[in-house]
Chains A and B, each alone.
Chain A
Amino acid sequence: GQQVMQIPQYQHVQEGEDFTTYCNSSTTLSNIQWYKQRPGGHPVFLIQLVKSGEVKKQKRLTFQFGEAKKNSSLHITATQTTDVGTYFCAGAGAGNNRKLIWGLGTSLAVNP
């Protein structure tokens, strides 16, 4: 069945360093969503990518969707302590299988 792999599982950075998490799907996706979960909190929707090769920015966060719509990345420039949390990608299959498949998440720790 469809799988969404997310790496790395954990990342520890010094404040000010950049951070990237990657998602790879075994099948072509119709769209991909990104969520952030702060420690002790619940997942919160960040953004959705739909088009092949799409790039979207939210302040220091840059989201990309691959040309083949099978991979995506989230890049944070100059991390801050407020970026701490777990970042999840979730991809919806193409065609009739539109169920959202979740990645395992990347937990980001930032040293001040």
Chain B
Amino acid sequence: DTAVSQTPKYLVTQMGNDKSIKCEQNLGHDTMYWYKQDSKKFLKIMFSYNNKELIINETVPNRFSPKSPDKAHLNLHINSLELGDSAVYFCASSRTPFGFYEQYFGPGTRLTVT
């Protein structure tokens, strides 16, 4: 059983389109995250949810909207995609929102905007 799963694994789309990425964790964790990793490998946290409540919202364009229907799922919707959105997006989960517990990452979604 995959602990943290994401779909789709690859996403190729044109500028201006809207797309969604889905994430699910079966670890029973309370906290889930979205990260963006650009070509330079820098891991930038975008959002974090704890028990369906948004607790971290970094300086991300409001074209990005996360949604957590329950604590096992965290989706990311992106409106009006731009070239600069091309990156790998990782979902992760941890037992609590504080940095004391390790984070488990999904396999990533490679988004390419043309």
Chain A residue nearest to B40 (CB atoms) is A104
> Does residue B43 face the partner (Cβ distance < 8 Å to A)?
yes
- Contact size range, B: 10 to 19
Contact A42 B102 (CB under 8 A): no
Complexed CA–CA distance, A37 and B105 (Å)? 10
> Does residue A43 face the partner (Cβ distance < 8 Å to B)?
yes
**Of B41, B45, B98, B108, which one neighbours A107 at CB under 8 angstroms?**
B41
Residues on B with C-beta less than 8 A from A93 are 99
Residues on A with C-beta less than 8 A from B106 are 42
Contact B42 A100 (CB under 8 A): no
- Contact size range, A: 20 to 34
> Does residue B34 face the partner (Cβ distance < 8 Å to A)?
no
> Does residue A98 face the partner (Cβ distance < 8 Å to B)?
yes
> Does residue B49 face the partner (Cβ distance < 8 Å to A)?
no
Chain B residue nearest to A91 (CB atoms) is B99
Q: How far is the CB of B47 from chain A (nearest CB, A)?
A: 12
Contact A48 B102 (CB under 8 A): yes
> Does residue A44 face the partner (Cβ distance < 8 Å to B)?
yes
Residues of B within 8 A of A (CB): 40-43, 45, 56, 90, 92, 97-100, 102-108
Residues of A within 8 A of B (CB): 30-31, 33, 35, 37, 41-45, 48, 86, 88, 90-93, 98-100, 102, 104-105, 107
Please name 8 further chain A to chain B contacts, defined as beta carbons within 8 Å, in addition to the given A30-B99, A33-B103, A102-B43, sorted by A numbering: A31-B99, A35-B103, A41-B107, A43-B103, A45-B103, A98-B99, A99-B98, A105-B43
